[in-house]
Amino acid sequence: MDIHGKIRGVLAETLQAEGDRGERPLSEEDFLTALQRRGIVEEAMKELSFVNVTESQIEADALNTSQPRLSEKNITQPKTMNISPLRRYLYLQVLGGKAFLEHLQEPEPLPGQVCSTLTLHLHFRNQRFRSKPVPCACEPDLQEGFLLEVHRDSPGDAGKMADATTMLSICDPVHMVMIKTDTSGDTTLVSSYFLDWRSVLSAPSGKTTVSVELLGVGSECKVPAGVLNIKLEMYPPLSETLSPEVISTQQSLERQKTAEKERLFLVYAKQWWREFLEIRPSHQSKLVKIFAQDENGVNRPVCSYVRVLRAGRLLESPRQAARFVSLLVQERAPVVGGGARQEQWCTMMAFLCRNKGDCEDHATLLCSLLLGFGLDAYVCVGTKSKNTPHTWVMTCGTDGTVTFWESLTAHRYLHQPIDPEAPPMVPQPKPTYPYRTIGCVFNHKTFLANCQPSDSVELCVFEFTDGSRWKAMSEDAVRSVCAPGSTSSLPPLPPLCSSSVQTSEASNQLELEMRFLLAEHRKDLGLATVWDDHLSYLLSSALAAYELERCTGVSCGNEEFQDAVRRAVPDGHTFKGFPIHFLHRNARRAFATCLRSPFCEEIVCCRGDHVRLAVRVRVFAYPESACAVWIMFACKYRSVL
């Protein structure tokens, strides 16, 4: 509706009119009268639709904890807005950005031109929102409003409207993540910022404006990325406000408490590490990772990166969760210049918004999801072939079976230890997994270092209760800094959001683009293109079977596909098919990759008698806009000897 634009226009007109008359200064009532006179209030009320609910119903709804919500341009918003008059809301308005100096030389985008964009993602107490993408500029035109519900978690207080004192005790920040998307669809993490919103509790009018300096990430975490102007407002307005001293004292106490807990944990970790080194001098070279740096350069215990994460109805099984995590692109932390690999772990919110990250981010997310599905899951830190550092996930069954989960591929491997004491003639299991050594394992409440004579995975025995094989950290010490709510510096856990991708539309669009590219390529070779739509349709069942196999590990439906193809291909004709899998929906990039395969090129450039071509695209949507894209090229032609 662009209500802000209309209001600004009316305000300018009214001020000008009153200024010309030279009368008394304008009051809020004069301004509201001017809006009503122009019919803007009436127009806004028509657009809003409210549900007639009784107060008891509202209270019953209010007891329910808020569901994850994502404000998306692609999602059709429901007709009725679930805004309870018994709840308190924080209205966070972004009034634009400035000093994004990296985009100083960025030219003004022409109308209709594809350009790089900036998107702001927000997370606050189980609610997630996303701004509309705006063109990259030194002063990006980020004009968005987000309505964040403020409520207590405890069942007794959840239904009541939060007062100023209650809200002062809510130390959860608003996590703001800025993402840049380039013209090819690649995403980059620009900034990750935790906003303490409680300054609004001392504002006399219930409104306050703050300028937030966003810092870069990784090696640039001390370099300013830009400034956002933000207006905070409480709805309904507070009956009594707090003094700024009370708020600053509360924040200071929280910081002191957190710093003391972190100091005590560091003292304990140093003592624990000294004891570990005394067991065996070779332990110095083992990959025992107690702390890891996040995107803001903050050192945090590795256990704090794992939480129990339930996906609601978005993921149905642990294997589907593994498939989802494997669809998030792997990308090492960018580093300026050469040298050793830069290791950077990410907060879960930054990883999900960017939809890409390194193996550590994948492993901690998969471990969190498997814990949510009730499995005994751990992140393993070690090496794979060529001595490359790597992280993966393992689960321990109640019967003692140990399963490794590769978070980058969703492959699962059963671990059977080799017995070095066994006689030479006794057959030993042959490892199928790519892992070589293991230094430590951890989850949200346990940290264990491998103190067996050999750190080789194939010789490793995963009996965590055996203190001679695994040295455990105190669970109380881990809980003091890693349990949810233990420290104010711990990033809150974001909920997963459902996909905004319309699979049938995306599949059709990509298929049309692939057809066009294939026909153009054949035209350049002087070949005509005749499509067989029936054959294209038959390829769907094969693509569905491939995705099902990746999800469940079980192959099915292949017999029906083969039978249908035999019926569609006449006697004396040859059929060739080439399936390929992608994590993106960029048609040109996908087609260029396909042509690098000699099998695909053979089909695309097929010459012969009565050549018919087919292409089928299936996009499978997962949470967080992750996609599995399957493309299959096929041709049939008369065999001429």
| pLDDT at 1 (0 to 100) | 59
112 versus 550: which is more confidently predicted?
550
The least confident of 201-210, 226-235, 249-258, 413-422 is 413-422
pLDDT over 80 (residue 427): no
| pLDDT at 536 (0 to 100) | 93
| pLDDT at 338 (0 to 100) | 58
Mean pLDDT of 197-214: 90
Question: From the centroid of its chain, how far is CA 47?
Answer: 32
574 & 460 share domain: no
* Residue 450 in domain: yes
458 & 536 share domain: no
7 & 38 share domain: yes
* Residue 80 in domain: no
| pLDDT at 18 (0 to 100) | 67
> Is the separation of the CB atoms in 609 and 638 below 8 Å?
yes
| pLDDT at 621 (0 to 100) | 93
373 & 315 share domain: yes
* Residue 495 in domain: no
pLDDT tens-digit profile of 474-498? Answer: 999 999 998 887 888 888 889 999 9
3-state secondary structure of 380: strand
d(CA 149, CA 293): 31
Confidence of residue 287 (pLDDT cuts 50, 70, 90): confident
Confidence of residue 417 (pLDDT cuts 50, 70, 90): confident
Residue 117: count other Cβ atoms within 10 Å of its Cβ.
Answer: 17
Residues near 490 by beta carbon (within 8 Å), at least 6 away in sequence:
304, 481, 482, 484
278 & 225 share domain: no
> Is the separation of the CB atoms in 123 and 175 below 8 Å?
yes
Of the three residues 187, 210, 242, the one that is the final residue of a domain is 242
What tokens does 593 get?
Answer: 């990759």
d(CA 598, CA 594): 9
pLDDT over 70 (residue 50): no
Question: Domain containing 185 — which CATH number?
Answer: 2.60.40.150
284 & 237 share domain: no
pLDDT over 80 (residue 201): yes
pLDDT over 50 (residue 512): yes
pLDDT tens-digit profile of 615-625? Answer: 999 999 999 98
pLDDT over 60 (residue 32): yes
For the chain, the maximum distance between any two Cα atoms, rounded to a whole number of angstroms, is 106
End-to-end CA distance of the chain: 68
Which of 87, 236, 203 is closest to 150 using CA atoms? 87
d(CA 294, CA 194): 13
| pLDDT at 336 (0 to 100) | 65
Mean pLDDT of 389-398: 94
* Residue 82 in domain: no
* Residue 498 in domain: no
Where in the sequence is the domain holding 629, given as residue range(s)? 503-638
Question: From the centroid of its chain, how far is CA 14?
Answer: 45
SS (H, E, C) 3-22: HHHHHHHHHHHHHHHHHHHC
270 & 232 share domain: no
Question: Domain containing 360 — which CATH number?
Answer: 3.10.620
77 versus 332: which is more confidently predicted?
332
> Is the separation of the CB atoms in 287 and 382 below 8 Å?
yes
355 & 230 share domain: no
234 & 259 share domain: no
DSSP string, 491-507: PPPPPP------HHHHH
pLDDT tens-digit profile of 150-196? Answer: 876 665 555 678 788 888 888 899 999 999 998 888 899 999 999 99
523 & 634 share domain: yes
| pLDDT at 175 (0 to 100) | 95
> Is the separation of the CB atoms in 405 and 320 below 8 Å?
no
pLDDT tens-digit profile of 342-364? Answer: 788 999 999 999 999 999 999 99
pLDDT tens-digit profile of 106-145? Answer: 777 677 678 889 999 999 988 999 999 999 989 899 999 9
* Residue 55 in domain: no
Mean pLDDT of 397-408: 93
Which of 364, 319, 328, 311 is closest to 628 using CA atoms? 328
The least confident of 6-10, 132-136, 521-525 is 6-10
Query: How many distinct helices (H) and strands (E) make up the chain?
Result: 16, 23
| pLDDT at 48 (0 to 100) | 64
pLDDT over 60 (residue 64): no
Mean pLDDT of 387-404: 93
510 & 396 share domain: no
294 & 434 share domain: yes
DSSP string, 59-106: HHHHHSPPPP----SSSPPPSS----TTSEEEEEEEEEEE--GGGTTP
Q: Where are the beta strands (DSSP E) in 565-626?
A: 573-582, 609-621
Helix (H) or strand (E) holding 245: helix 244-279
46 versus 234: which is more confidently predicted?
234
Q: Which residue has the tokens 């702001």?
A: 120
The crossing angle, in degrees rounded to 10, of helices 28-37 and 3-21 is 110
Confidence of residue 506 (pLDDT cuts 50, 70, 90): very high
Helix (H) or strand (E) holding 565: helix 558-568
Query: Domain total for the chain?
Result: 4
Which of 400, 395, 352 is closest to 374 using CA atoms? 395
| pLDDT at 292 (0 to 100) | 93
Hey, what long-range contacts does 563-571 have (CB within 8 A, 24 or more apart)?
564/538, 565/535, 565/538, 568/532, 568/534, 568/535, 568/538, 568/636, 569/636
Question: Domain containing 598 — which CATH number?
Answer: 3.40.33.10
* Residue 122 in domain: yes
SS (H, E, C) 125-137: CCEEEECCCEECC
pLDDT tens-digit profile of 552-585? Answer: 888 887 888 889 999 998 888 899 999 999 998 8
Confidence of residue 640 (pLDDT cuts 50, 70, 90): low
What tokens does 449 get?
Answer: 């270092």
Does residue 110 come out as left (phi exceeding 0), alpha (psi in the -120 to 50 range) or beta?
A: beta
Confidence of residue 316 (pLDDT cuts 50, 70, 90): very high
* Residue 303 in domain: yes
Question: From the centroid of its chain, how far is CA 395?
Answer: 23
pLDDT over 60 (residue 57): no
Q: For residue 30, which amino acid is it?
A: D
> Is the separation of the CB atoms in 320 and 628 below 8 Å?
no
> Is the separation of the CB atoms in 451 and 284 below 8 Å?
no
